[in-house]
Structure 1
């Protein structure tokens, strides 16, 4: 079995779904209670590149499914060096670097976070099965991004070192707002339940992004209330 097929199969088994694992461009299936306007969902799914698309390694074990919806989003930064390369190719390489670090140095079964947001605003799937779970909106994949919160929160890594005072690129910020709004919609998470890593663990993460959480919550709330 080749690597892409094996990763997809593992993610599908982890989700326990009776339907095939959805691709990044697939139309999401909305569970009960998801916000919808007169012409469909209030917040359309952003483009999220699956692990297969960015060349992820297969996880070393089957990811654990939590048969419940998460109750919060936790924002992180990678603390990797800031870069002027905002390309899709860089975003894919960054996702591979994170996975290598988490699997080879941390000893985790896969990337610890559910999703990654590059400085160019490209969203990629982290832990296998996270994208399918988000699209369905009924379960989540256990993660390894925040001690004490890995079975009840969605973790998103924003590439960059924002504890050093660097500004967050506009493309990355806009992507984070869109992702959080869509995730809140899919899982029924209130916009008030968006936090930073430092709210739960002793860390500088997510640096200056933490100062912008009130703004993020306000923008996400506005997206969720918008009618088309």
Structure 2
């Protein structure tokens, strides 16, 4: 880990627990006590937004992810910032992934609406994060076994996210970096860093250095990197709603 940013273990384990869906999840059995300096954001669970049952249970690994992948949903930049709209978005994504893609469930682990509402995606994601483990999703081709994906509502090829979405993205990435002991400057990436896609959009991708800086700052780090200009990537953009590029590789399960 970078010598300039040595993050201590402040994961939401031990005696602190994590606030998920309004409930406090208790300590993980056998986990060492840990004082968390990073508060868990309000995470709306699958039961709250009305998820369908998955056709098969998610695979949970006994280790955390090493990268956080930022996506855009390739949906309209809605001006409906309500919680009801956010829940409807999560249901629509799940329906497309299950009925359109033939997957067992929602592909990504987390979703943030333009109103700044954070929602659980793939089944058992909230449980796994609380335990410092990783649910294998379907969001970044050939890299799902070691990355956690955040879908950000909207399309960010020429426009930027709302302030509410941005603030929640910073808080969510800080929480994940805290839980998994990740250096935000190394761990936070865009979908295009792994696959041939414009996702998460030229504008949002150009703001990833700012995202890393803000997350690092909230964790007490003191390194600053300059933001990159938003320039056209030349990579393939969305072909249709919910198309953010390659989500599974030829050797990966779509369960």
TM-score (norm 1): 0.83
Task: Kindly state the Cα deviation for residue 149 of structure 1 after the two structures are TM-superposed.
Answer: 1.4
Unaligned runs of 5+ in 2: 1-18, 222-255
* 1:56 maps onto 2:51 in alignment: yes
Aligned pair partner of 2:23 in 10, 22, 26: 26
Query: 1:11-36: per-residue Cα shift (whole Å, max 9, x none)?
Result: xxxxxxxxxxx8423335475596x4
The structure whose RCO (Cα within 8 Å, separation 6+) is larger is: 1
In structure 2, the partner of 1:225 is 220
In structure 2, the partner of 1:67 is 62
Change (3 A) 1:23 1:47: closer
In structure 1, the partner of 2:150 is 156
Higher fraction of helix: 1
- Runs of 4+, deviation exceeding 3 Å: 26-34
* 1:123 maps onto 2:123 in alignment: no
Aligned pair partner of 1:166 in 129, 135, 159: 159
Unaligned runs of 5+ in 1: 1-21
- CA distance, structure 2, for counterparts of residue 199 and residue 143 of structure 1: 17
* 1:186 maps onto 2:183 in alignment: no
* 1:76 maps onto 2:105 in alignment: no
Aligned pair partner of 2:136 in 122, 134, 142: 142
Query: 1:27-68: per-residue Cα shift (whole Å, max 9, x none)?
Result: 35475596x4xxxx2110100000000000000111111121
CA-atom RMSD in angstroms: 1.8
In structure 2, the partner of 1:175 is 168
> Secondary structure of 1:155's partner?
strand
- CA distance, structure 1, for counterparts of residue 218 and residue 23 of structure 2: 21
> Secondary structure of 1:45's partner?
coil
TM-score (norm 2): 0.74
